[in-house]
Amino acid sequence: MIAGLLGGTVVGDKDTAVHTVSSIEGGKPGSLTYLTNPKYEQYIYTTEASIVLVNESFEPTAEVKATLIKLPDVGVAVLKLLEMYNAMKPQKKGISKMASISEKATVGEDCYVGDFAVIEAGAVVGDGAKIYPQVYVGDGVKIGAGTTLYPGVKIYEGCSVGANCIIHAGAVIGADGFGFLPKPDGTFDKIPQLGNVVIEDNVEIGANTCIDRAKTDSTIIRKGVKLDNLIQIGHNVEIGENTVSSAQMGIAGTSKVGHNCFLAGQVGIADHVKIGNCVKIGSKSGIDKDVPDGEIRFGSPALPGINYHRSFAVFKELPDLRRRVAALEKEINK
């Protein structure tokens, strides 16, 4: 049945049955697993899993106890299986009597609203949205159809979230941008943050990520963006379509990031910086200058990819170079 669903070819017992999934190294009898990364091939010869999905090109070099299903693209097949499994899980439905929903709010059809969720006046929640317990949806907030807000998400007044978005637990959307005006006496005046946050369709935002509202206008997260956990997006930032960022990335106010970029973990981007389209930035890099389209950056301050690797090749040799210079100086002094 599985081979038929995925369009694969069975090698081994065609009657093998499974009831769960597992990793290839931790496979147990009755489980299905997969091999996508060649460095894990060693485990296919020892796994106790009953079925292993492999690419058509895979040829074992030793005996494999499991039944193999050969497929054109294992990654695509695994995604299809996981989507089918997820669709079969029980879906949350209904509106809790312990939720607080303003009479001036609009909640669409087939929505789920959990215990102690709060939906304020003027908020609009689209059809099929899921609002988990203890979510706060502020005045005038718009939530698109099919969007899921996991427990503890807070969305401040006036912000907008598109359709089919996923916002994970503890994320805060629309808190004030970090704006303060220094005074002669060393104290600060708070600059009012009057804008909002606009999140377009099909965006996923990780747990405890914070996206600040704009001072004026909007902080904008374009469609298809995927943000990991523990990310900070400053006021008036714009992130282009289908850009992806790993955890602990931070972008200071008014910077712009293009479409289809990849920002690795702990990247820091200074204020008023423009990142072009299809840019890749390595982990822990610090960006304080504009980056053109298609560039690769590493390091802090960041350098173009090839320059960084050349510089690092020199840097790691510095201790030995220092010893050699010291020895030469000693000879010269003699």
Tell me the residue length of the chain: 334
Give first-to-last CA distance, the chain, whole Å. 83
What is the pLDDT, as a whole number, of residue 128? 97
Alpha carbons 307 and 296: distance in angstroms, whole number = 10
Complete edge-to-edge strand list for the sheet that includes strand 286-287: 100-101, 118-119, 136-137, 154-155, 172-175, 210-212, 232-233, 250-251, 268-269, 286-287
What is the pLDDT, as a whole number, of residue 5? 85
What is the pLDDT, as a whole number, of residue 316? 78
Alpha carbons 222 and 239: distance in angstroms, whole number = 6
Q: Please, are residues 304 and 289 in contact by the beta-carbon 8 Å criterion?
A: no
What is the pLDDT, as a whole number, of residue 2? 84
- Residue 110 half-sphere exposure, CB side, CA atoms within 13 Å? 7
Pick the CATH number of 2-88 from 2.170.130.10, 3.40.640.10, 3.40.1390.10, 3.30.420.10: 3.40.1390.10
What is the pLDDT, as a whole number, of residue 185? 96
Q: Which of 134, 130, 166 is nearest to 151 (CA)?
A: 134
What is the pLDDT, as a whole number, of residue 304? 77
What is the pLDDT, as a whole number, of residue 23? 92
State yes or no: is 19 an active-site residue. Answer: no
What is the pLDDT, as a whole number, of residue 325? 87
CATH 3.40.630.30 assigned to domain 110-308? The reply is no
Of residues 19, 168, 235, 272, which has the active-site annotation?
A: 235
pLDDT in tens, the chain (334 residues): 788 888 899 999 999 999 888 999 999 999 999 999 999 999 999 999 999 999 999 999 999 999 999 999 999 998 988 888 888 888 899 999 999 999 999 999 999 999 999 999 999 999 999 999 999 999 999 999 999 999 999 999 999 999 999 999 999 999 999 999 999 999 999 999 999 999 999 999 999 999 999 999 999 999 999 999 999 999 999 999 999 999 999 999 999 999 999 999 999 999 999 999 999 999 999 999 999 999 999 888 776 767 776 777 777 788 888 888 888 888 899 8
- Residue 205 half-sphere exposure, CB side, CA atoms within 13 Å? 33
What is the pLDDT, as a whole number, of residue 82? 83
What is the pLDDT, as a whole number, of residue 117? 98
Give the three-class secondary structure for 321: helix
Cα-to-chain-centroid distance, residue 117: 25
What is the pLDDT, as a whole number, of residue 81? 86
Indicate the burial class of 288 (C-beta count within 10 angstroms; 0-12, 13-18, 19 or more): middle
Q: Which of 144, 143, 139 is nearest to 120 (CA)?
A: 139
Domain ranges of the chain: 2-88, 110-308
What is the pLDDT, as a whole number, of residue 318? 82
Total-model pTM: 0.86
Q: Please, are residues 114 and 99 in contact by the beta-carbon 8 Å criterion?
A: yes
